[in-house]
Amino acid sequence: MTEKIARFFEERRPQTPCLVVDLDVVEQNYHALADALPDARIFYAVKANPAPEILRLLTGLGSAFDTASVPEIEMVLAAGCTPDRISYGNTIKKEADIRRAFELGVRLFAYDSEAELEKISRAAPGARVFCRILTSGEGAEWPLSRKFGCDLPMARELLIKARGMGVEPWGVSFHVGSQQKDLTQWDRAIFEVAQLFRELEVLGIDLGMINLGGGFPTRYRSDVPNSQAYGQAIFDSLRRHFGNHLPETIVEPGRGMVGSAGVIESEVVLVSRKSATDRKRWVYLDIGKFGGLAETMDEAIQYPIEVLGDDGSDAAAEPVILAGPTCDSADVLYERAEYRMPADLKAGDRVRIHATGAYTTTYAAVCFNGFAPLQQYCI
């Protein structure tokens, strides 16, 4: 945690639960990614954290933006960004929303099906399109379903079709899965994309862009490769499969841009046992699965959690089960994951949940159990 965040908590003593994001860290992350991938254009995945302060900062730094909906496009425009730096990256769009985005000046659209291509050709004539392909997502911590993308033969057909439909087949995208720690996953996908580029070249379709998606991780409880390592692996792979004829590359970091910039402070509401002989205590926080920590689903993302005032020595720490404050029995954060907390932990103590800058505020439920959504401060 940065000194700036520590000072904010100390001086402001905000009501819990709340998230504090250090914009300096976002800026450092932007530069680290830009340095690691000097030839790639960065499209920040707005869905990770659409705070106006973050969008304004990244606009100023020259970032482009990957958006999932018209409201996200409007947020980016409101931050002062021009529409030529916006990608409408959701492969699932209402035709009216494509039209609205086109009216707002957006000229770059994702698709992975014929029906979507037809919508784009009607509602955004002349726009650039990129086709998303399926990848396995092996090695990613956040599950990647088959929801997005199509297989390679279908992508080939869809890119050929695009040419005949008044839109510009500009490239291919894939996503290796969020919080991807296996660097070889990019290589596998880049190899397949390079083959597709060559097949289409033969047919006179020169694709110009490869969208490498996101997947850049945040450090949670265990180490992850740094940006430099990702950049090197991706660059090597591009050289290996494309030679000297490198396409334009796009990356869409979300978690990798803002995850490490945020810390949530939460209050312990209750510490209890279920029976006199219970080995594990239950620790209930004032934030849970429905208040912003949705990514604890199936204990997928395991945030580092610090107890305030604890010196960190594990001597007096005992295992705990962590749960949220709602009356929903599914609102349990960590039961199998081994979290330990001081033996004298009690209601009123505060904890800090680190690396929570991404995928927290927007996941919070409107008013589940009457609890307000997660409050955010960008400093």
- Restricted to residues 246-305, the positions that interact with its own copies (CB under 8 A) are 267, 269-276, 282, 284, 286, 290, 294, 297
From the number of C-beta atoms within 10 Å of its C-beta (0-12, 13-18, 19+), residue 222 rates as: exposed
3-state secondary structure of 282: strand
CA distance 173 to 248: 12
Contact string (CB under 8 A) for its own copies, positions 59-78, x = contact = --------xxxxxxx-x---
CA distance 132 to 250: 13
- Select 316 or 367, whichever has its Cβ closest to its own copies: 367
Contact string (CB under 8 A) for its own copies, positions 311-340, x = contact = ------------x-xxxxxxxx--x-----
Other C-beta atoms lying within 10 Å of the C-beta of residue 368: 17
CA distance 77 to 1: 31
CA distance 119 to 115: 6
Contacts with its own copies in 94-123 (CB under 8 A)?
94-95, 112-116, 119
CB of 73 to its own copies, least distance (A): 8
CB of 82 to its own copies, least distance (A): 19
Partnered with residue 109 across adjacent β-strands are: 88, 129
CB of 244 to its own copies, least distance (A): 33
CB of 268 to its own copies, least distance (A): 10
Contacts with its own copies in 224-243 (CB under 8 A)?
none
CA distance 84 to 105: 7
CA distance 69 to 263: 27
CB contact set of 47 (below 8 Å; sequence gap of 6+): 68, 72, 254, 359, 362
Contact string (CB under 8 A) for its own copies, positions 155-194, x = contact = --x-------------------xx----------------
CA distance 132 to 210: 10
User: 354 with 303: CB under 8 angstroms?
Assistant: yes
- Select 184 or 272, whichever has its Cβ closest to its own copies: 272
Tokens of 284: 């209930």
- Select 149 or 259, whichever has its Cβ closest to its own copies: 149
Partnered with residue 354 across adjacent β-strands are: 263
- Select 82 or 272, whichever has its Cβ closest to its own copies: 272
Among 49, 59, 87, 90, binds its own copies (CB under 8 A): 90
In 196-316, at which residue ranges do the beta strands (DSSP E only) sit? 209-211, 248-251, 262-272, 281-285, 305-307
Told to check if 373 binds its own copies by CB under 8 A, we report: yes
- Select 75 or 351, whichever has its Cβ closest to its own copies: 75
Q: Say which of 131, 150, 327, 378 is annotated catalytic.
A: 327
Contacts with its own copies in 340-369 (CB under 8 A)?
346-348, 361-369
- Select 2 or 375, whichever has its Cβ closest to its own copies: 375
Which range, of 3-11, 89-97, 161-169, 184-192, touches its own copies by CB under 8 A? 89-97
Per the annotation, the verdict on 327 as an active-site residue is: yes
Catalytic center residues: 327
